[in-house]
Amino acid sequence: MKRLICLLLLCFSVQLTNAQSFRKPYRQAKKALNKKDFVTATLKSIASLKVKNNFKKSNAIFEQALSQVNGWGANYIKDLEAKAIPYKDHRSVAPMKKIFITYDNLENVQKKLLELVAVASSKQKKFIALYTLDYKKKRHEAENLLKAYHTNAADEFYIKGLEVFNNAANKYDYKEAYKIFLNSKRFVKEYKEVQMYLDKSLQLGTLNVGYFPFKNFTDTPRGESAMENLMNSTINLFDKYRFANYSDISNKVELRRIGAIGEKGRAQLKNIDEFVVFKFLTYYAGPTVVKSREFHENTKEKKKKDGTVKTWYCKGYKYEVAASGVVEVDLEFLDNNGDILSSQTISVEVEHKDKFFLASKNSDRRAYPILKKFTRTMPEPFDVAGALRNRFNSKINEAYKRYD
């Protein structure tokens, strides 16, 4: 009896799997057809019919999609050719790529049609024959043309990059040349001497950045150490950006006013290209404070089938805690003459609130509402300084993209 049940279950499982194997692609084909994605609709309906060639719903979608896919492809490619042919500049590559992809998809449809013919009915075979085309030649031509376009685009950026590189007057120009050569590499991975010029541009365009935080600390007792930790964390962010070499200059020279560097200061800082200057306007990383504390106890009972009663009990204190913090900093980028290149004010706020039940040692969790926070130990104070640091660094990252 057990063997019979197992056999029936196995048969049912196989039938369920087979049903899913043709219904799932049918649903995908139906969804694609509604979006006028005739390629996907054709391919998915073929996948469904290969499993069950007499599935009427898939066959209806198949006939509708196949009857339109070739015409759609021809019109779509015609519109793209008007944009792509002849080659104008690097912007011609994108529509040319779409042409190749379209021919590739259409050829794939034809391959799948050949697979379907093996299991198709005579009526289906006649219908398939009406819409069978050979896209191999056109796909091959589009592929060769796309390769030529990539070469043209790579050469376009290579020539432009050489012009900027050979006429570069400063590190910013070499940085611009690097970005242009990088575009060349996007189209052809190894084109002429592009990699060599990328290496040279990176070397000649990397800025030596002097990091000098103004220590305008507030009167907050723990503010100084927290702010120093914040500053240290921002220093590490320079490692993410390719065009910045960081130098800590805060202890090398006392700058009375960053906009007026004396001769002695210039001599010591002659290799620094830019200064990153912080001036703290506000810094507060407050403690976690108790907003309310309320005693709570509860008993929960459950009557069992045998008539006995199970009891759970808990007692303790309901806590509501809060913490807040704020950082406001003036950030400036200056050249080695003290002139401001860029400036902005960065402001970050943190507001933390939490509620929990601090239960006694013998309290049972089942006597307290299941969705409420239950603990037997006092949670650690909220790390306001850490939260400020994470949010502040996120904004600093945006500012540091000038070195990317």
Does the pLDDT of residue 36 top 70, yes or no?
Answer: yes
Of 88, 106, 134, at which residue does a domain stop?
134
Of 169, 186, 205, at which residue does a domain stop?
205
Do both 87 and 184 map to the same domain? no
The single residue listed with the structure tokens 């409420």 is 372
Average pLDDT over residues 47-64: 87
The model's confidence at residue 220, banded by pLDDT at 50, 70 and 90, is very low
Does the pLDDT of residue 213 top 80, yes or no?
Answer: no
The mean pLDDT value of the chain amounts to 85
Higher pLDDT, 196 or 404: 196
pLDDT of 14: 39
pLDDT of 259: 43
Higher pLDDT, 261 or 355: 355
Do both 201 and 312 map to the same domain? no
Q: Measured between alpha carbons, how far is 398 from 381 in angstroms, rounded to an integer?
A: 30
Least confident of 74-88, 181-195, 234-248: 234-248
Q: What angle do CA 223, 227, 228 make, to 5 degrees?
A: 120
pLDDT of 249: 64
Q: pLDDT tens digits for 267-287?
A: 656 678 888 888 888 888 889
84 in a domain, yes or no? Answer: yes
User: What is the percent of the chain where pLDDT is above 90?
Assistant: 55
Residue 60, domain extent: 18-134
pLDDT of 263: 58
Do both 74 and 195 map to the same domain? no
All residues at 6 or more sequence positions from 243 whose CB lies less than 8 Å from its CB, including other chains: 175, 178, 202, 205, 206, 207, 403, 404
pLDDT of 8: 40
The model's confidence at residue 5, banded by pLDDT at 50, 70 and 90, is very low
Task: Compute and round to an integer the Cα radius of gyration of the chain.
Answer: 35
Strand 289-303 versus strand 309-335 pairing type = antiparallel
pLDDT of 304: 84
Higher pLDDT, 256 or 89: 89
Do both 31 and 163 map to the same domain? no
Do both 304 and 181 map to the same domain? no
pLDDT of 11: 44
Whose CA is closest to 325, among 380, 391, 399, 235? 391
9 in a domain, yes or no? Answer: no
231 in a domain, yes or no? Answer: yes
pLDDT of 264: 54
Do both 215 and 199 map to the same domain? no
Do both 162 and 121 map to the same domain? no
Of 205, 223, 241, at which residue does a domain stop?
205
Average pLDDT over residues 90-110: 96
Give the H or E element holding residue 174.
helix 171-187
140 in a domain, yes or no? Answer: no
Q: pLDDT tens digits for 137-178?
A: 999 999 999 999 999 999 999 999 999 999 999 999 999 999
Do both 248 and 105 map to the same domain? no
The model's confidence at residue 3, banded by pLDDT at 50, 70 and 90, is low
6 in a domain, yes or no? Answer: no
Other beta carbons less than 10 A from residue 195's beta carbon? 14
Do both 277 and 384 map to the same domain? yes
Q: Measured between alpha carbons, how far is 327 from 358 in angstroms, rounded to an integer?
A: 32
Which token pair is 234? 């921002």
Query: How many distinct structural domains can be found in the chain?
Result: 3
All residues at 6 or more sequence positions from 261 whose CB lies less than 8 Å from its CB, including other chains: 255, 269, 336, 337, 338
User: What is the percent of the chain where pLDDT is above 70?
Assistant: 86
Does the pLDDT of residue 19 top 50, yes or no?
Answer: no
All residues at 6 or more sequence positions from 117 whose CB lies less than 8 Å from its CB, including other chains: 125, 128
The model's confidence at residue 12, banded by pLDDT at 50, 70 and 90, is very low
Least confident of 118-122, 266-270, 397-401: 266-270
pLDDT of 31: 92
Do both 160 and 214 map to the same domain? no
pLDDT of 7: 44
Does the pLDDT of residue 13 top 50, yes or no?
Answer: no
3 in a domain, yes or no? Answer: no
pLDDT of 371: 83
Do both 89 and 190 map to the same domain? no
111 in a domain, yes or no? Answer: yes
Q: Measured between alpha carbons, how far is 392 from 385 in angstroms, rounded to an integer?
A: 10
4 in a domain, yes or no? Answer: no
Do both 201 and 214 map to the same domain? no
